[in-house]
Amino acid sequence: MTLTLRQMRYFEALAREKHFGRAAEAVHISQPALSAQILDMEQGLGVRLVERNRNGILLTRQGEEVLAQVRSVLEQVERLESGVRSNGRMLDGPVRIGIIPTVAPYLVPKLVPCLRERYASIEIELKEAVTDRLILDLQDGTLDAVIAALPIEGDGTEAFPLFVDRFFMAMANNAEAILLSPLIETQVDVDRLLLLEEGHCLREQALSVCGTAGKRSLVTFGATSMTTLLQMVSHDMGMTLIPEMAIPTETARNDIRIVPFAEPAPSREIGLIWRKSSGRRDEMKALAEAVASCAPAPR
């Protein structure tokens, strides 16, 4: 039996998701079909690749060895397909971009039409997730690029800076507490500081800005999205750090007051991250320039 690229892609998805159902969904086939392909792959290679259990799967020692080789083959195939597909044209065909949740809602509405205007043949695929998840998908080849806050620690990745996004403090318009403007970071009442849940880089940035890194007892709630957080703020349940790019959208739909920090204001740098091994540096640079050009303008 000959090992096929399809089987390798299915096996890589299974190894990444650690679950037959999720892996089948990721590659757009039924779970029985995926299971049959993996079984055929095991029989063809003459080794057991996965251990099946109630919670999902574990890779065997042979499975780990095969996975490393499979990912190397798939990366080479991706480079070949990319080179043939582009044939000298920039950003021609599918481009899979991951974006963190505190950037996506405010960038995507401008990004998609901007990219389609510049590159008529581009096929944009977007995924929103926290930074760690996106970087894993980037390294696995599931994504071509990631838009996230810099710096990023990832083996074999490179980043192009896009823009600087300043931080402000958001509080309810009818809040009893009065914050001086411009705000000094040490004046923030950390007992009323609302944060995104663990895994969001903005959570750690807020703790750092407000000088509370490591003081977990001060954090009493973790929201799953910026929108949820600001709805709580509008009901005077606390205050939170808000990125500048989110202000136009969120002030239009929430009854909140924006208080600037004293200069030099805290900020984050948003960048485009990609794999060095993809051989697409020129394309990624063009993508970064396009993203930077359509980013929300500073206040």
- How does pLDDT run across 133-180, given as a tens digit for each residue? 999 899 888 899 999 999 887 778 999 999 999 988 888 887 655 555
Strands 145-150 and 93-99: parallel
Mark whether 169 and 106 lie in a shared domain.
Answer: no
Give the pLDDT band (50/70/90) at residue 213.
very low
Q: What is the largest CA-CA distance in the chain?
A: 73
Find the domain containing 52 and state its range. 5-84
Give mean pLDDT, residues 182-186: 59
The answer as to whether 298 is a domain residue is no
The answer as to whether 132 is a domain residue is yes
Mark whether 259 and 204 lie in a shared domain.
Answer: yes
Mark whether 67 and 16 lie in a shared domain.
Answer: yes
Give mean pLDDT, residues 31-39: 92
Mark whether 274 and 262 lie in a shared domain.
Answer: no
Mark whether 179 and 199 lie in a shared domain.
Answer: yes
- How does pLDDT run across 110-127, given as a tens digit for each residue? 999 989 888 888 889 999
Q: Are 81 and 70 in contact (CB under 8 A)?
A: no
Give mean pLDDT, residues 66-88: 75
Helix (H) or strand (E) holding 96: strand 93-99
Residue 200 has pLDDT above 90, yes or no: no
Place of tokens 């080179």: 83
Mark whether 157 and 288 lie in a shared domain.
Answer: yes
What's the Rg (C-alpha) of the chain? 22
Cut 0.85: pTM above it: no
CATH number at residue 232: 3.40.190.10
Segment among 52-56, 67-71, 98-102 with least mean pLDDT:
52-56
Q: Please, where are the H alpha helices in the chain?
A: 5-17, 20-26, 31-45, 61-86, 104-118, 131-140, 201-209, 226-234, 247-253, 281-293
Q: Are 71 and 140 in contact (CB under 8 A)?
A: yes
Neighbours of 263 (CB within 10 A): 7
CATH number at residue 21: 1.10.10.10
- How does pLDDT run across 1-22, given as a tens digit for each residue? 678 889 999 999 999 889 999 8
